């Protein structure tokens, strides 16, 4: 029986599948990323090692995904925000949790940057028809 991770939202408690189960569900990388990794396989392998090393630790997968979203927002990396949101939604993270990450950034980033990040999150959420 697969283990689960839980996340609480205003709509209740959500149970999420384990890392192994979710990895199969993650969205496919964009075509340009796949082309780059095909052209530079050692960089692709190094990227995989960085991701693996960063994931080792006490944080559950959902928390890791939300932290990575927060980092992408703080760095104002639109592409990384889009990617984090796509992956979080594929893992079953509620859109409400993603919006909260943006709200938490407001005090540090200021309103203009926060509104920009909110628009990036909502672009992906609305495109995937998740509210």
Predicted local confidence at residue 10, as pLDDT = 54
Predicted TM-score (pTM) of the model is 0.75
- Find where tokens 């993650």 sit: 26
The CATH number linked to 52 is 1.20.1290.10
Domain that holds residue 18: 4-127
Give how many domains the chain has, as a whole number: 1
35-87 pLDDT, tens per residue?
Answer: 999 999 999 999 999 999 999 999 999 999 999 999 999 999 999 999 999 99
């Amino acid at each position: 029986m697969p283990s689960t991770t839980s996340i609480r939202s205003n709509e209740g408690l959500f149970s999420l599948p384990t890392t192994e189960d979710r990895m199969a569900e993650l969205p496919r990388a964009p075509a340009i990323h796949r082309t780059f990794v095909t052209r530079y396989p050692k960089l692709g392998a190094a990227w995989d090692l960085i991701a693996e090393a960063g994931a080792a630790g006490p944080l559950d997968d959902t928390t890791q995904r939300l932290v990575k979203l927060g980092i992408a927002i703080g760095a104002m990396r639109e592409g990384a925000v889009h990617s984090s949101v796509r992956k979080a939604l594929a893992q079953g993270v509620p859109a409400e949790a993603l919006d909260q990450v943006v709200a938490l950034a407001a005090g540090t980033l200021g309103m203009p940057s926060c509104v920009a990040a909110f628009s990036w999150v909502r672009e992906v959420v609305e495109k995937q028809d998740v509210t």
